[in-house]
Each structure stands twice: as C-alpha cells, then as structure tokens.
Structure 1
Amino acid sequence: MKKQLIGTLIGSALLMPLTANAADYVIDTQGAHASIQFKVNHLGYSFVAGRFNDFGGDFSYDAANIAGSAINVTINTTSVDSNHAERDKHLRGSDFLNTGKFPQAEFASTSVEDKGNGQLVLNGNLTLNGVTKPIAIDAAFIGEGKDPWGGYRAGFAGTTEFAMKDFGIKMDLGPASANVTLDLIVEGIKQ
C-alpha cells in the first residue's frame, strides 16, 4: 500500500504542468520601461517611424521552461504617434488603422520557442484593423533580477515584420512600402 501511494505521488508530480514555476509579470508602461515602435519604408527613399504611446499587457516567464511562457499585449491604436499631427490623423483613418472602428490591436502568444542563448520566437495571433492573423516575433531575453525598489523585473526585446495588406490596410504606397516593422521593448514587474 505504501509503495503504491509513493508511486502515485511521484506519478502525479511528474504530470503536473511545468508552468507551475512560471512567474507572472505586468509590463511596466507606468515607468516608461517598455515601448512599441514601428517603421515603414517611405516610397523606397527613407522611412516613416513612430510609436504607440498607450499599451499594456502581461507575461509569464520561467527560464527553466521557456515553452511554458506566454504574453498578451493590448495597444490603443488611437495613440499612434509619428511626430506629425496630419500624418497621425491619416494613420488613424480608414486608409490605415481605422481607429474609429477598431481602436485596439492585440497580440496573444500561442507558443514560445527557445532558440538557445537567450533567443526566442514568440508565435501568436495579432489582431489589427479587425483582422486576426498569426505572426512570429523574434525576441531576445535581456535580463532579470531585483530592482532598487524591492521588486523583481525581467526584460526582452523583439522585432517582427508583416505585410499591411494582410491586415486589411488599404493604402498602397508601392512595393517598397508594403511591410511594417515593429520593434518591441518589454520590461515586466513580477506580481
């Protein structure tokens, strides 16, 4: 009986989810330790760059079980800021982000791949302009540890590129301007 009980306990422990050690973090947007920036080639001559000023989210991370990690981010698309008021008004309109109808974009990871040496691939679904499509974000673990205020933090940087037309964005500025690149910096505070 005792051997059976011990065997059952060991078997149960082995079947427990590996994410039990994952820590939950809230993205630190209050301290401006996170950013979402974008870049689009302008007619093949230069780039238009900007950012989203209002976003939030959370993630779970366990260095011992990268595959058990997850991230969710919500972006207020009306907060688009390219440092040019008239262009920002156009970006909020129906040619681009259509913020009157779709004021939020969301990313929810579906899996995280550990590529080794702190390199990751976040696979997930991006919802933008009312369209949901899978994307992959190439990411790098920057570091984790205690902060000076008694908290614990973890940080990552990532980048992804996708075709605007895949998300129903109508404006066509030619082949050089078909894709947008997103650069993300995420620092989270352990909860």
Structure 2
Amino acid sequence: MHCQLENKHEVYIWLKSNQTCLICDESSGTADPVCGACETELPWLMEHCEVCALPLPATGLVCGQCLKQPQAFKQVVAPWTYSFPIDSLISRFKHQARWPLGHLLAHLLGQFLQHRYEDAALARPDCLLPVPLARKRLRERGFNQAAMLARWLSEDLNIPWDEHLLSRPRETVAQQDLDARTRKRNLHQAFA
C-alpha cells in the first residue's frame, strides 16, 4: 500500500506567479506583492532634516530642533512619511498579525536601503538590533514585530541580526497614547 499520490502533475509555485497587490487587491503583474502604481504612490519622504528625517521644504537642511539640541544619534533613515497607506500597513501588521504586510514593508525598506548603500550615501551597519518588546505585550501579541522585520531585512540585505544584544529589564506602559515628552520619560533606562 502506497500513501503517496502517483500523479506527476505540475506543481503550482506560488512565489513565482503573479501576486495580488496587498494594498489595492489588484494583480501586481509580477512576483512581488505590490503593484507598480501603489509602490509609486506610497508617501515617499522627499526633502527632510538630515539628522532626524523631519519633512522640510528643501533638501540638505537640519531642522531647528536638531540645531538647538543635538540628538543622541547621527541620522534617521526613513523612506516614507507616516501617512496612508503606510500607517495602515504598520498597524495591521502589528495589531492584527497580518504578517504578509510586515514582510512587504520589510522588502520595500530593504530595496530602499540597498539603493542607499549602493550610492555610498549610507554606511552598511554591522548588525541589525530589533527593539525588545515588553514581556506582557509579547505574551498578548504573540510575536515581536521589530524582530520579524529585522529578520526579513537581514535576509534581503545580507546583514546579520541579533535579538539578544538588547534587553528590556524594565516593563513600561504602551507608548501608543503618550505624547513625545512622556514617551521619552517612559523609555528612560528601559533597555540595556
């Protein structure tokens, strides 16, 4: 008695076929899960502060806040503004466990970063470090979206990632409903 099917039919290879765009639900026409029109229409960040990436009216400027109070970092690299549909994709990935949306965001971010690395406008990092999720929220959500994004980016960019170099020794309240000043205070000594 044989448990395996004897038929030798062609196997449908999902990854090689045309995909449905995860943004507009139309055929993407490619093996990518986003169509060209939706990718073009994403809220790409154009002119921005060279330090914090705040949108500005001209390129090559540093915003007043970064001039007044130097930041603890050298540069923020952001491909998009936080507006539709990016805000919706992030929220649905994070709060509804829509992992294909997170994978799409990681893939698009990876393409953006790869172009920046090739133009020598951005130095490649030695390692990707995802921000640890508070234990309570990790239990509630069941996954760390930052670790998933880091893993997917690591694969696309061939950069190692390590989710154990950073720890979260102190639990904090959720940042989502806090203003900027309270967020900063909330995260004081939250990571090691």
Do these two structures clear the TM 0.5 threshold for a shared fold by scoring above it?
no
TM-score for both structures, normalised by structure 1 = 0.25
More strand, by proportion: 1
More helix, by proportion: 2
- Greater RCO (Cα-Cα under 8 Å, separation 6 or more): 1
